[in-house]
Amino acid sequence: MSDQQEFPEDPSEYADPENATQHSTGKGLALPGQNLPDKVYIIPIHNRPFFPAQVLPVIVNEEPWAETLDLVSKSDHHSLALFYMDTPQEDPRHFDTSALPLYGTLVKVHHASRENGKLQFVAQGLTRVRLKTWLKHHRPPYLVEVEYPHQPTEPTDEVKAYGMALINAIKELLPLNPLYSEELKNYLNRFSPNDPSPLTDFAAALTSATGSELQEVLDCVPMLKRMEKVLPMLRKEVEVARLQKEISAEVNRKIGEHQREFFLKEQLKVIQQELGLTKDDRSADLEQFEQRLVGKVLPVQVQKRLEEEMNKLSILETGSPEYAVTRNYIDWATSVPWGVYGEDKLDLKYARKVLDKHHAGLDDIKDRILEFLAVGAYKGEISGSIVLLVGPPGVGKTSVGRSIAESLGRPFYRFSLGGMRDEAEIKGHRRTYIGAQPGKLVQALKDVEVMNPVIMLDEIDKMGQSYQGDPASALLETLDPEQNVEFLDHYLDLRMDLSKVLFICTANTLDSIPGPLLDRMEVIRLSGYITEEKVAIAKRHLWPKQLEKAGVSKGSLSISDSALKALIDGYAREAGVRQLEKNLGKLVRKAVMKLLDDPNAVIKLGPKDLETSLGKPVFRNEQVLSGIGVITGLAWTSMGGATLPIEATRIHTLNRGFKLTGQLGDVMKESAEIAYSYVSSNLKSFGGDPKFFDEAFVHLHVPEGATPKDGPSAGVTMASALLSLARNQPPKKGVAMTGELTLTGHVLPIGGVREKVIAARRQKIFELILPEANRGNFEELPEYLKEGITVHFAKRFADVAKVLF
């Protein structure tokens, strides 16, 4: 079908008879080869050229072609010429006559009708026409004089051969594209084997070639030349049709397979449901949830809520969003092990064995844990309790918690609170939110499948706060034995009993834990390890672990005790054992490099091999500073204990003054001021020159200025340094001290006695001065820590001065 559209610019431009696109209206009936009109009206068409062999409907705009068709209908021959125009003109009443090609087709008009501003008629192609002269070209209707090209009547053998090739190609195309069948039948009714021209034109019309390519065929009058153009176009069409058919067949095959599989599955599903072999998704879900509740003891409220939710699920459509929300809720609610409790192993010998197996040292911690277990054994059950393990990094807080779970025979679940800023992590989200889920505690109970596991809350001192709430406050209900009997998770909105859960929390320091939360926990302090303990840990745990990790046998690689001691003293003096483990791993890796070169080698590492693998020692056996105005203090840090030398010197005697250096916190600065005031006012009673500080500008320095230091426990140390300076007398060698000093000379208690004693032992200092109030803390220490240490307990600063001077 050819669709007509409106036309170009100035009709005066249409004076060129060489170019035009037209419909003809002539005199008398025109048939191929008979009386043909020499003057016809034209109409341009735009989709593709119209061929003499075609009979097709043509649609054109009523304006401006109505008058043209009226004139054609009144003519004797009812004919007009159709010319192909590549680009539609903006105004059909004014268009460039040079835009029309030289050749068009004379068609007879049948069944013309008009509707909705369009004119429709059936065009019967008669013959080629060649535009000769424009008779009227200013505005439609356009009238031209035409001539009809002469064609030979008798086809040659070559033309007949091409004709057979075209017929064969059409036969091939017909089964590949059924759309051509009707058109072919119409043509064959009018086809004469002795007339190859209509055959060639018809073959060209069958192709999907472009308008310009088809116009070239129309322009080509010589028969043989035209056939040479059309045959490749037709062969290309056959190939394209064949390829399309293959692609369609492949697509249909794949779709057919999927449809067949789908239908079979659906049939199988229906048959199984009819026979009662399977259930639909909703029934399967409900049955699964009911099966989960077998053997669980549900509280009345929980039972009631679950029945309501299951009834709701049974009437909802499986595709609705509400179904997914309800199903997810029931899934979580039935996963909680309601009323299911594991049996505790209340065997203290077994518990001691487990603790000794996993931990060297920590005897006081082990005793504390065994006492806790003994109460449970006596009572017959371990009721929920909250233990807080506090200590520097790497001392084994997490592994102690794991050992407690193993000694009790309870499942262990650990999650870290470090950086947690959302209270929903603890108590869950409201059910109404997208992506809502229960809190970590419900998830823990689901994983462990009992209501009395050991749950470790790691890094409880590193929780954050944000606009999403305060997780530390959300933990209050969780960890309070009075409240967690009816712990309420926001998602489940069901009361659950957490009173049988044993909570173990870990922290490096207590400073950042809120008071109300700390009040609910039983604090157990883990201090650092001394060298002997580290050697035992390395031999029993760390070294075998590194060998196993590298796949090295014990026979191929070993390390001596002296090398371990040198490693600990020179490279890993921290309170915990992480740095020690890293260095042991490094030694093993270096040894593996050698074993690759010589697989049969036996490597024994001694103290001399350490520098080769690890470089120069990080720590050196420092000389404890001594002399006038120099005192060794003891300090506590979150990484363990440390020694803290304090130096005082007189700069000049021009005026009275006091200067402090060493990145000190406010509390420590105040301690220094107190020490200066106390020693200045009581210098005479301690045997010094009362006028010393009146004339001296004194500088007090705490070395390692890059490290922030704060706390009151250096008060007596700073006072002792100032007194040594004032008396111009060096203090007793090999003594370290700690204690808070008041303005009246009293020595107040301090914390971290264990860490400070360990720090002194590490520096080989065996004479200590501690506040009298800390006597009990010292006596509680294990014997191996107290062994060989002389301790002087001071109530007032005078007791300190007696020991030093």
Residue 173 CA to residue 305 CA, distance in Å, equals: 71
> Do residues 360 and 541 make contact, with C-beta atoms less than 8 angstroms apart?
yes
Q: In what order do the strands lie in the sheet with 640-652?
A: 657-661, 697-701, 640-652, 630-637, 735-737, 767-771, 790-794
Residue 763 three-state SS: coil
**Closest Cα to residue 341, out of 410, 422, 412?**
410
Own/partner long-range contacts of 511-520 (Cβ < 8 Å, ≥24 apart): 511/461, 512/461, 512/462, 513/460, 513/461, 513/472, 514/472, 514/473, 516/476, 517/460, 517/472, 517/473, 517/475, 517/476, 517/479, 518/388, 520/386, 520/476, 520/479, 520/480, 520/481
Question: Is 499 a residue of the active site?
Answer: no
> Do residues 794 and 774 make contact, with C-beta atoms less than 8 angstroms apart?
no
Provide the pairing of β-strand 118-136 with 103-115.
Answer: antiparallel
300-315 and 281-292 helices, crossing angle to 10°: 170
Catalytic residue among 2, 407, 713, 724: 713
**Closest Cα to residue 33, out of 52, 10, 46?**
52
**Closest Cα to residue 431, out of 329, 307, 316, 306?**
329
Contacts of 6 (CB under 8 A, 6+ apart): 61, 64, 88, 89, 90, 91, 92
Contacts of 239 (CB under 8 A, 6+ apart): none
Residue 522 CA to residue 541 CA, distance in Å, equals: 28
> Do residues 137 and 12 make contact, with C-beta atoms less than 8 angstroms apart?
yes
Token pair, residue 656, equals 């009275």
Q: Report DSSP state, residue 489.
A: -
Residue 294 CA to residue 465 CA, distance in Å, equals: 41
Token pair, residue 715, equals 């008060």
> Do residues 229 and 220 make contact, with C-beta atoms less than 8 angstroms apart?
yes
Output the CA–CA distances (angstroms, integers) from residue 221 to 100, 194, 482, in the order listed.
17, 17, 107
Catalytic residue among 756, 764, 786, 802: 756
Q: Which residues are annotated as a binding site for ATP?
A: 391-398
Residue 96's identity, in one-letter code, is D
DSSP lists the bridge partners of residue 289 as none
- What is the distance between the terminal CA atoms of the chain, rounded to a whole angstrom? 122
Q: Which residue has the tokens 């009523």?
A: 62
Question: Is 756 a residue of the active site?
Answer: yes
Give the residue numbers annotated as catalytic, written as ranges: 713, 756
